Amino acid sequence: MKILSGLSVAQGIVIGTAMLYLEDDYPEIPRYTVSGDQVSGELDRFARAVKDAAEELCALKENSREVKGRQNAIFDAHLLMVEDPDFHYQIQVRIESEYENIEWIVWEVARELTQKLMVSPDPYLRERAVDIADVSRRIINHLMGIKRFSLASLDRDVILVANNLLPSDALSMNKSRVKALVMNMGSPTSHTAILAKAFGIPSVFGVSGATRKITADDILIVDGGKGKVILDPDEETLERYKGSVADYQKNFAQLLGLGEFPAETMDGHRVALKANIEIPGEAEELFRYGAEGIGLYRSEFLFMQSGQNADEETQYQAYRSVIRAMKGKPVTIRTVDLGGDKLLSSLQTAQESNPLLGCRAIRFSLSLPEMFKTQLRAILRASVEGQVKIMFPMISGIEELEEAVSILEEAKGECRRRAQAYADTIEVGTMIETPAAVMTADYLAERSDFFSIGTNDLIQYALAVDRGNEKVSYLAQPTHPAVLRLIKATIDSAHAAGISAAMCGELAGDLPMAPLLLGLGLDEFSMTAISIPAVKHIIRSVNYEKCRDLAYEALNCPSWKQVRTLLENWM
Protein backbone atom coordinates (compact mmCIF):
# COMPACT_ATOMS: atom_id res chain seq x y z
CA MET A 1 0.00 0.00 0.00
CA LYS A 2 1.27 3.47 -0.92
CA ILE A 3 -0.15 6.82 0.09
CA LEU A 4 0.28 9.60 -2.47
CA SER A 5 -0.31 13.21 -1.47
CA GLY A 6 -1.50 16.10 -3.60
CA LEU A 7 -3.74 19.15 -3.61
CA SER A 8 -7.37 18.90 -2.55
CA VAL A 9 -9.41 20.16 -5.51
CA ALA A 10 -12.90 18.68 -5.16
CA GLN A 11 -14.25 16.90 -2.09
CA GLY A 12 -15.55 13.35 -1.86
CA ILE A 13 -14.27 9.80 -1.31
CA VAL A 14 -14.17 7.24 -4.13
CA ILE A 15 -12.92 3.65 -4.29
CA GLY A 16 -12.36 2.29 -7.79
CA THR A 17 -10.00 1.08 -10.51
CA ALA A 18 -7.47 3.29 -12.25
CA MET A 19 -7.48 4.16 -15.90
CA LEU A 20 -4.33 5.85 -17.21
CA TYR A 21 -5.00 8.54 -19.75
CA LEU A 22 -1.73 9.74 -21.26
CA GLU A 23 -3.16 11.36 -24.36
CA ASP A 24 -1.71 14.71 -23.36
CA ASP A 25 1.78 13.39 -24.17
CA TYR A 26 3.12 14.47 -27.56
CA PRO A 27 3.96 11.73 -30.05
CA GLU A 28 7.54 11.58 -31.27
CA ILE A 29 7.70 14.52 -33.68
CA PRO A 30 9.63 13.89 -36.93
CA ARG A 31 12.17 16.54 -37.96
CA TYR A 32 13.59 16.93 -41.42
CA THR A 33 14.56 19.60 -43.92
CA VAL A 34 12.25 20.68 -46.73
CA SER A 35 13.17 22.56 -49.89
CA GLY A 36 11.90 25.99 -50.81
CA ASP A 37 9.59 24.39 -53.37
CA GLN A 38 8.01 22.24 -50.65
CA VAL A 39 7.14 25.09 -48.28
CA SER A 40 3.79 25.88 -49.91
CA GLY A 41 2.83 22.21 -49.74
CA GLU A 42 3.72 22.09 -46.05
CA LEU A 43 1.58 25.18 -45.43
CA ASP A 44 -1.29 23.52 -47.31
CA ARG A 45 -0.95 20.49 -45.00
CA PHE A 46 -1.08 22.87 -42.04
CA ALA A 47 -4.23 24.53 -43.38
CA ARG A 48 -5.94 21.13 -43.80
CA ALA A 49 -4.93 20.07 -40.27
CA VAL A 50 -6.28 23.34 -38.86
CA LYS A 51 -9.55 22.77 -40.72
CA ASP A 52 -9.80 19.19 -39.40
CA ALA A 53 -8.97 20.32 -35.84
CA ALA A 54 -11.64 23.02 -36.01
CA GLU A 55 -14.23 20.51 -37.24
CA GLU A 56 -13.22 18.14 -34.42
CA LEU A 57 -13.71 20.91 -31.84
CA CYS A 58 -17.10 21.80 -33.31
CA ALA A 59 -18.14 18.15 -33.05
CA LEU A 60 -16.95 17.97 -29.43
CA LYS A 61 -18.94 21.09 -28.63
CA GLU A 62 -22.04 19.65 -30.28
CA ASN A 63 -21.65 16.39 -28.33
CA SER A 64 -21.37 18.34 -25.08
CA ARG A 65 -24.55 20.37 -25.42
CA GLU A 66 -25.54 19.54 -21.86
CA VAL A 67 -22.57 21.58 -20.63
CA LYS A 68 -23.84 25.02 -19.78
CA GLY A 69 -22.56 28.56 -20.00
CA ARG A 70 -18.88 29.37 -20.25
CA GLN A 71 -17.87 25.76 -19.64
CA ASN A 72 -18.85 25.06 -23.22
CA ALA A 73 -17.10 28.28 -24.23
CA ILE A 74 -13.76 26.54 -23.64
CA PHE A 75 -14.39 24.90 -27.02
CA ASP A 76 -15.01 28.36 -28.48
CA ALA A 77 -11.74 29.57 -26.96
CA HIS A 78 -9.86 26.65 -28.51
CA LEU A 79 -11.48 27.32 -31.87
CA LEU A 80 -10.19 30.89 -31.67
CA MET A 81 -6.70 29.59 -30.88
CA VAL A 82 -6.77 27.07 -33.75
CA GLU A 83 -7.64 29.84 -36.19
CA ASP A 84 -5.59 32.61 -34.56
CA PRO A 85 -3.94 34.65 -37.38
CA ASP A 86 -0.91 35.54 -35.22
CA PHE A 87 -0.23 31.85 -34.53
CA HIS A 88 -0.57 31.11 -38.26
CA TYR A 89 1.77 33.99 -39.09
CA GLN A 90 4.43 32.70 -36.68
CA ILE A 91 4.20 29.26 -38.32
CA GLN A 92 4.59 30.74 -41.80
CA VAL A 93 7.55 32.96 -40.85
CA ARG A 94 9.32 30.08 -39.13
CA ILE A 95 8.97 27.56 -41.98
CA GLU A 96 9.99 30.14 -44.58
CA SER A 97 13.16 30.93 -42.64
CA GLU A 98 14.11 27.49 -41.31
CA TYR A 99 12.84 25.13 -44.06
CA GLU A 100 11.77 22.31 -41.74
CA ASN A 101 8.68 20.09 -41.84
CA ILE A 102 5.42 21.57 -40.60
CA GLU A 103 4.92 19.14 -37.69
CA TRP A 104 8.23 20.22 -36.19
CA ILE A 105 7.51 23.91 -36.80
CA VAL A 106 4.10 23.72 -35.08
CA TRP A 107 5.64 21.87 -32.14
CA GLU A 108 8.49 24.39 -31.82
CA VAL A 109 6.25 27.47 -31.96
CA ALA A 110 3.79 25.98 -29.47
CA ARG A 111 6.61 24.86 -27.15
CA GLU A 112 8.12 28.35 -27.06
CA LEU A 113 4.75 29.92 -26.31
CA THR A 114 3.93 27.45 -23.54
CA GLN A 115 7.37 27.77 -21.94
CA LYS A 116 6.97 31.53 -21.71
CA LEU A 117 3.60 31.14 -20.06
CA MET A 118 4.49 28.25 -17.74
CA VAL A 119 7.18 30.26 -15.92
CA SER A 120 4.65 32.92 -14.98
CA PRO A 121 3.85 33.14 -11.26
CA ASP A 122 0.25 33.73 -12.25
CA PRO A 123 -1.89 30.54 -12.30
CA TYR A 124 -4.31 31.89 -14.90
CA LEU A 125 -1.50 32.53 -17.37
CA ARG A 126 -0.04 29.08 -16.73
CA GLU A 127 -3.44 27.64 -17.62
CA ARG A 128 -3.28 29.47 -20.97
CA ALA A 129 -0.20 27.35 -21.65
CA VAL A 130 -2.35 24.25 -21.12
CA ASP A 131 -4.85 25.52 -23.70
CA ILE A 132 -2.10 26.16 -26.25
CA ALA A 133 -0.72 22.66 -25.67
CA ASP A 134 -4.19 21.22 -26.21
CA VAL A 135 -4.73 23.04 -29.50
CA SER A 136 -1.24 22.43 -30.93
CA ARG A 137 -1.38 18.72 -30.04
CA ARG A 138 -4.71 18.44 -31.81
CA ILE A 139 -3.24 19.99 -34.97
CA ILE A 140 -0.14 17.78 -34.82
CA ASN A 141 -2.26 14.66 -34.41
CA HIS A 142 -4.09 15.55 -37.64
CA LEU A 143 -0.82 16.27 -39.42
CA MET A 144 0.50 12.84 -38.40
CA GLY A 145 -2.77 10.94 -38.86
CA ILE A 146 -3.01 9.98 -35.18
CA LYS A 147 -6.46 9.15 -33.81
CA ARG A 148 -6.94 9.79 -30.09
CA PHE A 149 -8.99 7.81 -27.64
CA SER A 150 -12.15 9.70 -26.78
CA LEU A 151 -13.10 9.93 -23.12
CA ALA A 152 -16.66 10.42 -24.31
CA SER A 153 -16.73 6.72 -25.21
CA LEU A 154 -15.98 5.45 -21.70
CA ASP A 155 -18.30 2.54 -20.93
CA ARG A 156 -17.14 1.61 -17.40
CA ASP A 157 -16.63 3.39 -14.09
CA VAL A 158 -13.03 4.57 -13.65
CA ILE A 159 -10.75 6.77 -11.61
CA LEU A 160 -9.03 8.78 -14.32
CA VAL A 161 -5.29 9.19 -13.80
CA ALA A 162 -3.55 11.67 -16.08
CA ASN A 163 -0.49 13.85 -16.31
CA ASN A 164 -2.53 16.98 -16.95
CA LEU A 165 -6.08 16.49 -18.21
CA LEU A 166 -6.91 19.20 -20.68
CA PRO A 167 -10.09 21.29 -20.37
CA SER A 168 -11.53 20.04 -23.65
CA ASP A 169 -11.07 16.44 -22.46
CA ALA A 170 -12.80 17.26 -19.18
CA LEU A 171 -15.72 18.77 -21.05
CA SER A 172 -16.12 15.93 -23.52
CA MET A 173 -15.57 12.97 -21.17
CA ASN A 174 -18.41 10.71 -20.09
CA LYS A 175 -18.87 12.33 -16.69
CA SER A 176 -21.19 9.60 -15.41
CA ARG A 177 -18.31 7.11 -15.74
CA VAL A 178 -15.45 9.23 -14.35
CA LYS A 179 -15.83 8.83 -10.59
CA ALA A 180 -12.65 10.67 -9.57
CA LEU A 181 -9.67 12.51 -11.08
CA VAL A 182 -5.99 12.16 -10.14
CA MET A 183 -3.36 14.28 -11.91
CA ASN A 184 0.40 14.80 -11.73
CA MET A 185 -0.05 18.48 -12.46
CA GLY A 186 -2.73 21.10 -12.01
CA SER A 187 -3.81 23.53 -9.34
CA PRO A 188 -7.10 24.31 -7.57
CA THR A 189 -7.46 27.39 -9.82
CA SER A 190 -7.00 25.58 -13.15
CA HIS A 191 -9.77 25.23 -15.74
CA THR A 192 -9.89 21.51 -15.17
CA ALA A 193 -10.21 22.03 -11.40
CA ILE A 194 -13.05 24.46 -11.96
CA LEU A 195 -14.81 21.93 -14.16
CA ALA A 196 -14.22 19.08 -11.71
CA LYS A 197 -15.86 21.11 -8.95
CA ALA A 198 -18.74 22.06 -11.23
CA PHE A 199 -19.29 18.39 -12.16
CA GLY A 200 -18.97 17.21 -8.54
CA ILE A 201 -16.09 14.82 -9.32
CA PRO A 202 -13.75 14.21 -6.33
CA SER A 203 -10.27 15.26 -7.43
CA VAL A 204 -6.68 15.39 -6.24
CA PHE A 205 -4.17 17.30 -8.39
CA GLY A 206 -0.44 17.85 -8.08
CA VAL A 207 0.23 14.20 -7.19
CA SER A 208 3.90 13.92 -8.12
CA GLY A 209 4.63 10.84 -10.24
CA ALA A 210 1.03 9.58 -10.22
CA THR A 211 1.21 8.28 -13.79
CA ARG A 212 4.48 6.44 -13.03
CA LYS A 213 3.42 4.90 -9.73
CA ILE A 214 -0.12 3.94 -10.77
CA THR A 215 -0.80 1.34 -13.46
CA ALA A 216 -4.00 0.44 -15.29
CA ASP A 217 -6.65 -1.31 -13.18
CA ASP A 218 -4.88 -0.64 -9.87
CA ILE A 219 -7.28 -0.27 -6.96
CA LEU A 220 -7.31 3.31 -5.71
CA ILE A 221 -8.91 5.25 -2.91
CA VAL A 222 -9.27 8.95 -3.70
CA ASP A 223 -9.94 11.22 -0.72
CA GLY A 224 -10.60 14.57 -2.38
CA GLY A 225 -11.13 16.44 0.87
CA LYS A 226 -7.72 15.46 2.27
CA GLY A 227 -5.82 15.54 -1.03
CA LYS A 228 -4.85 11.90 -0.63
CA VAL A 229 -4.64 8.94 -3.04
CA ILE A 230 -4.13 5.44 -1.61
CA LEU A 231 -2.66 2.93 -4.08
CA ASP A 232 -3.34 -0.81 -3.57
CA PRO A 233 -4.91 -0.37 -0.12
CA ASP A 234 -4.66 -3.26 2.33
CA GLU A 235 -7.85 -4.98 3.48
CA GLU A 236 -8.08 -3.01 6.71
CA THR A 237 -7.75 0.34 4.94
CA LEU A 238 -10.15 -0.73 2.20
CA GLU A 239 -12.82 -1.75 4.69
CA ARG A 240 -12.33 1.43 6.69
CA TYR A 241 -12.75 3.59 3.60
CA LYS A 242 -15.76 1.62 2.45
CA GLY A 243 -17.32 2.64 5.71
CA SER A 244 -16.10 6.20 5.16
CA VAL A 245 -17.71 6.31 1.69
CA ALA A 246 -21.02 5.13 3.11
CA ASP A 247 -20.75 7.57 6.00
CA TYR A 248 -19.77 10.44 3.67
CA GLN A 249 -22.71 9.82 1.35
CA LYS A 250 -25.11 9.49 4.27
CA ASN A 251 -23.74 12.55 6.05
CA PHE A 252 -23.71 14.64 2.89
CA ALA A 253 -27.32 13.71 2.15
CA GLN A 254 -28.22 14.76 5.69
CA LEU A 255 -26.26 17.99 5.32
CA LEU A 256 -28.11 18.79 2.09
CA GLY A 257 -31.28 18.50 4.14
CA LEU A 258 -30.19 21.62 6.04
CA GLY A 259 -30.75 23.70 2.91
CA GLU A 260 -34.09 25.05 4.11
CA PHE A 261 -32.70 26.07 7.50
CA PRO A 262 -30.83 29.32 8.24
CA ALA A 263 -27.14 29.47 9.18
CA GLU A 264 -27.93 30.30 12.79
CA THR A 265 -26.08 29.38 15.98
CA MET A 266 -27.75 27.60 18.86
CA ASP A 267 -28.16 30.90 20.69
CA GLY A 268 -29.75 32.69 17.75
CA HIS A 269 -26.87 34.49 15.99
CA ARG A 270 -27.43 34.39 12.24
CA VAL A 271 -24.98 34.79 9.37
CA ALA A 272 -25.27 34.44 5.58
CA LEU A 273 -23.75 31.58 3.59
CA LYS A 274 -23.16 32.28 -0.09
CA ALA A 275 -21.30 30.68 -2.98
CA ASN A 276 -18.31 31.61 -5.10
CA ILE A 277 -18.70 30.94 -8.81
CA GLU A 278 -16.61 31.38 -11.93
CA ILE A 279 -18.92 29.90 -14.57
CA PRO A 280 -22.48 31.13 -15.16
CA GLY A 281 -23.71 27.56 -15.51
CA GLU A 282 -22.83 26.89 -11.85
CA ALA A 283 -25.57 29.25 -10.62
CA GLU A 284 -28.42 26.82 -11.25
CA GLU A 285 -26.88 24.25 -8.86
CA LEU A 286 -26.46 26.58 -5.90
CA PHE A 287 -29.95 26.13 -4.43
CA ARG A 288 -29.22 22.43 -3.96
CA TYR A 289 -26.50 23.33 -1.46
CA GLY A 290 -28.52 25.96 0.37
CA ALA A 291 -26.66 29.02 -0.91
CA GLU A 292 -28.29 32.31 0.06
CA GLY A 293 -26.83 34.04 -2.95
CA ILE A 294 -23.52 34.53 -4.73
CA GLY A 295 -20.89 36.27 -2.63
CA LEU A 296 -18.25 36.27 -5.35
CA TYR A 297 -18.67 36.00 -9.10
CA ARG A 298 -15.15 36.01 -10.55
CA SER A 299 -15.89 37.86 -13.77
CA GLU A 300 -12.39 37.50 -15.23
CA PHE A 301 -13.32 33.97 -16.31
CA LEU A 302 -15.27 35.61 -19.14
CA PHE A 303 -12.08 37.27 -20.35
CA MET A 304 -9.59 34.49 -19.73
CA GLN A 305 -11.60 31.86 -21.59
CA SER A 306 -11.34 33.64 -24.90
CA GLY A 307 -8.05 35.39 -24.27
CA GLN A 308 -9.72 38.53 -25.57
CA ASN A 309 -11.48 41.58 -24.21
CA ALA A 310 -15.05 40.33 -23.70
CA ASP A 311 -17.46 42.78 -25.34
CA GLU A 312 -20.36 44.41 -23.53
CA GLU A 313 -23.06 42.16 -24.96
CA THR A 314 -21.15 38.95 -24.07
CA GLN A 315 -20.71 40.17 -20.51
CA TYR A 316 -24.31 41.38 -20.24
CA GLN A 317 -25.71 38.02 -21.32
CA ALA A 318 -23.46 36.14 -18.87
CA TYR A 319 -24.35 38.39 -15.91
CA ARG A 320 -28.04 38.33 -16.78
CA SER A 321 -28.11 34.52 -16.91
CA VAL A 322 -26.57 34.27 -13.44
CA ILE A 323 -28.84 36.91 -11.92
CA ARG A 324 -31.94 35.30 -13.38
CA ALA A 325 -30.87 31.87 -12.15
CA MET A 326 -30.59 33.21 -8.59
CA LYS A 327 -34.29 34.26 -8.60
CA GLY A 328 -33.93 37.42 -6.58
CA LYS A 329 -31.13 36.29 -4.27
CA PRO A 330 -28.12 38.66 -4.14
CA VAL A 331 -25.32 38.34 -6.68
CA THR A 332 -22.00 40.06 -5.95
CA ILE A 333 -20.00 40.59 -9.13
CA ARG A 334 -16.31 41.35 -8.70
CA THR A 335 -14.91 43.51 -11.47
CA VAL A 336 -12.10 41.81 -13.36
CA ASP A 337 -8.98 40.81 -11.48
CA LEU A 338 -6.66 40.97 -14.49
CA GLY A 339 -3.25 42.47 -14.95
CA GLY A 340 0.43 41.89 -14.38
CA ASP A 341 1.16 38.67 -16.27
CA LYS A 342 -2.55 37.89 -16.44
CA LEU A 343 -3.05 39.93 -19.61
CA LEU A 344 -5.31 39.60 -22.59
CA SER A 345 -3.67 39.26 -26.00
CA SER A 346 -5.58 42.31 -27.22
CA LEU A 347 -4.37 44.43 -24.28
CA GLN A 348 -0.68 43.53 -24.00
CA THR A 349 1.47 46.02 -22.15
CA ALA A 350 5.09 46.06 -21.08
CA GLN A 351 6.19 43.01 -19.10
CA GLU A 352 6.51 43.60 -15.36
CA SER A 353 9.34 42.25 -13.22
CA ASN A 354 6.99 41.58 -10.28
CA PRO A 355 3.46 41.22 -11.66
CA LEU A 356 1.88 40.16 -8.35
CA LEU A 357 2.75 43.62 -7.03
CA GLY A 358 2.11 45.33 -10.35
CA CYS A 359 -0.70 46.60 -12.53
CA ARG A 360 -3.44 44.12 -11.63
CA ALA A 361 -7.06 44.07 -10.46
CA ILE A 362 -8.45 47.58 -9.82
CA ARG A 363 -5.18 49.16 -10.97
CA PHE A 364 -5.52 47.41 -14.31
CA SER A 365 -9.16 48.46 -14.67
CA LEU A 366 -8.42 52.09 -13.78
CA SER A 367 -5.61 52.16 -16.34
CA LEU A 368 -8.15 51.19 -19.04
CA PRO A 369 -11.22 53.26 -18.14
CA GLU A 370 -13.13 52.53 -21.36
CA MET A 371 -12.77 48.77 -20.87
CA PHE A 372 -13.73 49.26 -17.21
CA LYS A 373 -16.84 51.24 -18.16
CA THR A 374 -17.80 48.53 -20.65
CA GLN A 375 -17.87 45.98 -17.86
CA LEU A 376 -19.72 48.31 -15.50
CA ARG A 377 -22.37 49.11 -18.14
CA ALA A 378 -22.91 45.37 -18.72
CA ILE A 379 -23.38 44.82 -14.98
CA LEU A 380 -25.70 47.83 -14.67
CA ARG A 381 -27.88 46.67 -17.57
CA ALA A 382 -28.14 43.18 -16.06
CA SER A 383 -28.97 44.55 -12.61
CA VAL A 384 -32.66 45.00 -13.51
CA GLU A 385 -32.98 41.20 -13.45
CA GLY A 386 -32.44 40.87 -9.70
CA GLN A 387 -30.39 41.96 -6.70
CA VAL A 388 -26.87 42.93 -7.80
CA LYS A 389 -23.83 44.12 -5.88
CA ILE A 390 -20.59 45.39 -7.40
CA MET A 391 -17.25 44.72 -5.72
CA PHE A 392 -13.88 46.30 -6.53
CA PRO A 393 -10.79 44.05 -6.04
CA MET A 394 -7.42 44.85 -4.46
CA ILE A 395 -8.24 48.35 -3.27
CA SER A 396 -5.27 49.77 -1.37
CA GLY A 397 -6.54 53.24 -0.53
CA ILE A 398 -9.38 55.74 -0.71
CA GLU A 399 -8.10 57.30 -3.96
CA GLU A 400 -8.56 54.07 -5.91
CA LEU A 401 -12.02 53.50 -4.47
CA GLU A 402 -13.16 57.04 -5.25
CA GLU A 403 -11.84 56.80 -8.82
CA ALA A 404 -13.62 53.46 -9.33
CA VAL A 405 -16.87 54.88 -7.97
CA SER A 406 -16.47 57.92 -10.23
CA ILE A 407 -16.15 55.71 -13.32
CA LEU A 408 -19.19 53.74 -12.14
CA GLU A 409 -21.14 57.02 -12.07
CA GLU A 410 -19.93 57.77 -15.61
CA ALA A 411 -21.17 54.34 -16.70
CA LYS A 412 -24.56 55.06 -15.14
CA GLY A 413 -24.70 58.35 -17.06
CA GLU A 414 -23.93 56.56 -20.32
CA CYS A 415 -26.69 54.03 -19.63
CA ARG A 416 -29.15 56.85 -19.03
CA ARG A 417 -28.18 58.57 -22.28
CA ARG A 418 -28.70 55.27 -24.11
CA ALA A 419 -32.05 54.73 -22.39
CA GLN A 420 -30.72 51.54 -20.83
CA ALA A 421 -32.39 50.77 -17.52
CA TYR A 422 -30.47 49.73 -14.41
CA ALA A 423 -31.44 49.10 -10.79
CA ASP A 424 -31.70 52.12 -8.52
CA THR A 425 -30.17 50.40 -5.51
CA ILE A 426 -26.88 48.69 -6.30
CA GLU A 427 -24.57 48.22 -3.34
CA VAL A 428 -20.90 48.93 -3.99
CA GLY A 429 -18.34 47.03 -1.93
CA THR A 430 -14.61 47.00 -1.33
CA MET A 431 -12.57 43.83 -1.37
CA ILE A 432 -10.05 43.87 1.48
CA GLU A 433 -6.96 42.06 0.21
CA THR A 434 -4.01 44.21 1.27
CA PRO A 435 -2.68 45.31 4.66
CA ALA A 436 -3.01 48.89 3.40
CA ALA A 437 -6.76 48.39 2.94
CA VAL A 438 -7.06 47.04 6.47
CA MET A 439 -5.11 49.95 7.95
CA THR A 440 -7.35 52.46 6.15
CA ALA A 441 -10.55 50.43 6.46
CA ASP A 442 -12.22 53.19 8.51
CA TYR A 443 -11.91 55.57 5.54
CA LEU A 444 -12.87 52.93 2.99
CA ALA A 445 -15.96 52.03 5.03
CA GLU A 446 -17.26 55.60 4.64
CA ARG A 447 -17.46 55.07 0.85
CA SER A 448 -18.49 51.39 0.85
CA ASP A 449 -21.77 49.58 1.32
CA PHE A 450 -19.97 46.40 2.41
CA PHE A 451 -16.55 44.80 2.81
CA SER A 452 -15.49 41.38 1.55
CA ILE A 453 -12.20 39.94 2.81
CA GLY A 454 -10.17 38.16 0.14
CA THR A 455 -8.00 35.96 2.33
CA ASN A 456 -6.04 34.32 -0.51
CA ASP A 457 -4.23 37.58 -1.31
CA LEU A 458 -4.46 39.10 2.16
CA ILE A 459 -2.46 36.19 3.61
CA GLN A 460 0.03 36.36 0.75
CA TYR A 461 0.67 40.08 1.12
CA ALA A 462 0.56 40.18 4.92
CA LEU A 463 3.06 37.35 5.35
CA ALA A 464 5.21 38.14 2.28
CA VAL A 465 4.65 34.59 1.01
CA ASP A 466 4.05 33.64 -2.61
CA ARG A 467 1.52 30.86 -2.13
CA GLY A 468 2.45 29.48 -5.57
CA ASN A 469 6.07 28.95 -4.47
CA GLU A 470 6.34 25.44 -3.07
CA LYS A 471 9.49 26.38 -1.11
CA VAL A 472 7.65 28.86 1.10
CA SER A 473 3.95 28.04 0.66
CA TYR A 474 3.94 26.26 4.04
CA LEU A 475 4.35 29.70 5.63
CA ALA A 476 1.01 30.93 4.24
CA GLN A 477 -0.83 30.03 7.44
CA PRO A 478 -4.33 31.51 7.84
CA THR A 479 -4.09 31.16 11.63
CA HIS A 480 -1.00 33.37 11.83
CA PRO A 481 -1.66 36.01 14.53
CA ALA A 482 -1.08 38.80 12.00
CA VAL A 483 -3.75 37.41 9.69
CA LEU A 484 -6.27 37.02 12.52
CA ARG A 485 -5.64 40.59 13.68
CA LEU A 486 -6.08 41.93 10.15
CA ILE A 487 -9.38 40.06 9.80
CA LYS A 488 -10.58 41.31 13.17
CA ALA A 489 -9.59 44.91 12.40
CA THR A 490 -11.47 44.78 9.08
CA ILE A 491 -14.63 43.43 10.69
CA ASP A 492 -14.48 46.01 13.50
CA SER A 493 -14.04 48.89 11.02
CA ALA A 494 -16.99 47.67 8.98
CA HIS A 495 -19.27 47.36 12.00
CA ALA A 496 -18.19 50.74 13.35
CA ALA A 497 -19.39 52.27 10.07
CA GLY A 498 -22.63 50.27 10.07
CA ILE A 499 -21.78 48.06 7.10
CA SER A 500 -21.43 44.26 6.82
CA ALA A 501 -18.19 42.28 6.64
CA ALA A 502 -18.05 39.24 4.37
CA MET A 503 -15.27 36.81 3.47
CA CYS A 504 -14.91 35.27 0.02
CA GLY A 505 -11.44 33.72 0.21
CA GLU A 506 -10.78 29.99 0.60
CA LEU A 507 -10.66 30.46 4.36
CA ALA A 508 -14.43 30.97 4.44
CA GLY A 509 -14.93 27.28 3.61
CA ASP A 510 -12.31 25.96 6.05
CA LEU A 511 -14.40 23.91 8.50
CA PRO A 512 -12.16 24.20 11.59
CA MET A 513 -12.04 27.97 11.07
CA ALA A 514 -15.82 28.46 11.04
CA PRO A 515 -16.29 28.92 14.83
CA LEU A 516 -13.31 31.28 14.99
CA LEU A 517 -14.57 33.42 12.10
CA LEU A 518 -17.98 33.52 13.75
CA GLY A 519 -16.38 34.68 16.98
CA LEU A 520 -14.42 37.38 15.15
CA GLY A 521 -17.77 38.80 14.04
CA LEU A 522 -17.92 37.83 10.37
CA ASP A 523 -21.37 38.48 8.89
CA GLU A 524 -21.16 36.51 5.65
CA PHE A 525 -19.22 33.47 4.44
CA SER A 526 -18.83 32.87 0.70
CA MET A 527 -17.23 29.63 -0.53
CA THR A 528 -17.31 26.80 -3.05
CA ALA A 529 -20.95 25.71 -3.08
CA ILE A 530 -20.30 22.10 -2.10
CA SER A 531 -18.73 23.32 1.19
CA ILE A 532 -21.86 25.21 2.29
CA PRO A 533 -23.78 22.31 3.91
CA ALA A 534 -20.88 21.29 6.16
CA VAL A 535 -20.16 24.88 7.22
CA LYS A 536 -23.85 25.39 7.95
CA HIS A 537 -23.89 22.25 10.09
CA ILE A 538 -21.02 23.60 12.20
CA ILE A 539 -22.64 27.01 12.60
CA ARG A 540 -25.92 25.45 13.71
CA SER A 541 -24.03 23.27 16.23
CA VAL A 542 -22.17 26.00 18.14
CA ASN A 543 -22.91 28.75 20.64
CA TYR A 544 -22.03 32.25 19.43
CA GLU A 545 -20.90 33.51 22.83
CA LYS A 546 -18.52 30.55 23.14
CA CYS A 547 -17.22 31.33 19.65
CA ARG A 548 -16.47 34.87 20.80
CA ASP A 549 -14.51 33.44 23.74
CA LEU A 550 -12.62 31.21 21.28
CA ALA A 551 -11.77 34.24 19.13
CA TYR A 552 -10.49 36.13 22.18
CA GLU A 553 -8.19 33.22 23.06
CA ALA A 554 -6.98 32.87 19.47
CA LEU A 555 -6.17 36.58 19.17
CA ASN A 556 -3.95 36.22 22.22
CA CYS A 557 -1.98 33.25 20.88
CA PRO A 558 1.57 34.18 19.79
CA SER A 559 1.90 31.61 16.98
CA TRP A 560 -0.17 30.01 14.25
CA LYS A 561 0.62 26.55 15.61
CA GLN A 562 -0.94 27.43 18.95
CA VAL A 563 -4.05 28.73 17.22
CA ARG A 564 -4.36 25.49 15.22
CA THR A 565 -3.98 23.43 18.40
CA LEU A 566 -6.62 25.60 20.07
CA LEU A 567 -9.05 24.99 17.19
CA GLU A 568 -8.39 21.24 17.12
CA ASN A 569 -9.03 20.92 20.84
CA TRP A 570 -12.07 23.19 20.72
CA MET A 571 -13.78 21.21 17.95
Same domain, yes or no: 60 and 191: no
Tens-place pLDDT, residues 255-270: 888 888 999 999 999 9
Does 359 or 183 have the greater pLDDT score? 183
Q: CB within 8 A of 410, min separation 6: which ones?
A: 373
CA distance 114 to 510: 34
Domain containing residue 485: CATH number: 3.20.20.60
Provide, rounded to the nearest whole percent, the portion of the chain with pLDDT above 90. 53
User: How far does Cα 15 stand from its chain's mean position?
Assistant: 26
Q: How confident is the model at residue 428 (pLDDT cuts 50, 70, 90)?
A: very high
Same domain, yes or no: 238 and 101: no
The last residue of one of the domains, among 112, 127, 144, is: 144
Same domain, yes or no: 71 and 168: no
CA distance 336 to 360: 9
**191 catalytic residue (yes or no):** yes
Are 143 and 101 in contact, with CB atoms under 8 Å apart?
A: no
Q: Calculate the average pLDDT of the chain.
A: 86
Give the DSSP H or E segment for 74. helix 69-82
pLDDT for position 348: 44
Is the pTM for the entire model greater than 0.85?
A: no
* Residue of 191, 415, 480, 547 with catalytic role: 191
Same domain, yes or no: 229 and 282: no
Domain containing residue 242: CATH number: 3.50.30.10
The last residue of one of the domains, among 88, 117, 144, is: 144
548: in domain: no
Q: How confident is the model at residue 349 (pLDDT cuts 50, 70, 90)?
A: very low
Tens-place pLDDT, residues 100-136: 999 999 989 888 888 777 766 665 566 667 778 778 8
pLDDT for position 354: 66
Q: CB within 8 A of 250, min separation 6: which ones?
A: none
Same domain, yes or no: 500 and 375: yes
310: in domain: yes
* Residue of 78, 142, 359, 504 with catalytic role: 504
360: in domain: yes
Which domain does 109 fall in, by range?
A: 36-144
Same domain, yes or no: 201 and 337: no
**142 catalytic residue (yes or no):** no
Average pLDDT over residues 186-197: 72
Q: How confident is the model at residue 414 (pLDDT cuts 50, 70, 90)?
A: very high
567: in domain: no
The last residue of one of the domains, among 253, 276, 310, is: 253
Choice among 192-201, 220-229, 330-339 with the minimum mean pLDDT: 192-201
Same domain, yes or no: 80 and 10: no
Same domain, yes or no: 107 and 161: no
Same domain, yes or no: 15 and 42: no
List the one residue out of 156, 298, 263, 163 whose CA is nearest residue 522. 263
CA distance 346 to 194: 25
CA distance 326 to 321: 9
30: in domain: no
Same domain, yes or no: 219 and 118: no
CA distance 64 to 177: 15
Same domain, yes or no: 288 and 367: yes
Same domain, yes or no: 136 and 170: no
Domain count across the chain: 3
Tens-place pLDDT, residues 543-566: 999 999 999 999 999 999 999 999
Average pLDDT over residues 178-200: 80
207: in domain: yes
267: in domain: yes
Say yes or no to pLDDT of 26 above 60. Answer: no
Choice among 117-126, 231-240, 272-281, 414-423 with the minimum mean pLDDT: 117-126
Choice among 72-86, 101-115, 518-532 with the minimum mean pLDDT: 72-86
225: in domain: yes
DSSP assignment of 419-466, as one string? T----S--EEEEEE-SHHHHHTHHHHHHT-SEEEE-HHHHHHHHHT--
Domain containing residue 68: CATH number: 1.10.274.10
